[in-house]
Amino acid sequence: MIRVKCSTLFDITETGVKNRSYKSQMTFRDRANREITTPADWNRARNQQCNWETINQIISLRTLPENITTPVQDASTGIWHFEFDVVDPASIFCNGNPVGYLLSDCTGVPMILGLDESAGVASTIVGEGSAANIWFDLIDQIDDK
């Protein structure tokens, strides 16, 4: 088992808002502890959650991630980070790169912009090169014994 860290420039705040706006449910605090009081607040929280779900779906194409942490934004860099475990490292290993399949699967996937991401982020995921806006790093080899 390995531990992987994902870092991205996209706003992947986990808000827990998973459906369309309902006026009867309008005033509440989302998982990011933001007060939702208007349809605009709701849509913003929903779009952040959509980005979070998209990243999770990409990862789940190859492996069933376990022990997923809540994404947090580093205020000094504007980068969101979260970690997860991969039981079978071979499932994401490709072309000599331990996270090669994750990078190839995510490249070109559209993301929602206009949230809290930095200006100038491409509207699709770029996994490699100078324009990369997502990174996967192995951070720990976990002994299953």
pLDDT digit string, tens, across residues 106-116 = 999 999 999 99
* Cβ within 8 Å of residue 36, ≥6 positions away: 17, 26, 27, 28, 29, 30, 42, 45
Percentage of the chain lying above the pLDDT 90 cut: 72
35: number of Cβ within 10 Å: 10
* Residue 92 to residue 64: CA distance in whole angstroms: 11
At 98 the pLDDT is: 86
Paired sense of beta strands 134-141 and 2-8, if any: antiparallel
Query: Model pTM?
Result: 0.91
At 27 the pLDDT is: 84
The one-character DSSP state at 84 is E
At 23 the pLDDT is: 65
Check: CB of residue 15 under 8 Å from CB of residue 31: yes
| Half-sphere CA count of 65, side-chain side, radius 13 A | 21
Tell me what the pLDDT averaged over the chain comes to.
91
Would you kindly state where each structural domain of the chain is located, as residue ranges? 2-141
* Residue 60 to residue 52: CA distance in whole angstroms: 12
**Has residue 142 got a pLDDT over 80?**
no
Q: For 6-22, give one letter per residue: b (16+ CB within 10 A) or e.
A: bbbbbbbbbbebeeebe
pLDDT digit string, tens, across residues 29-48 = 999 999 999 889 999 999 99
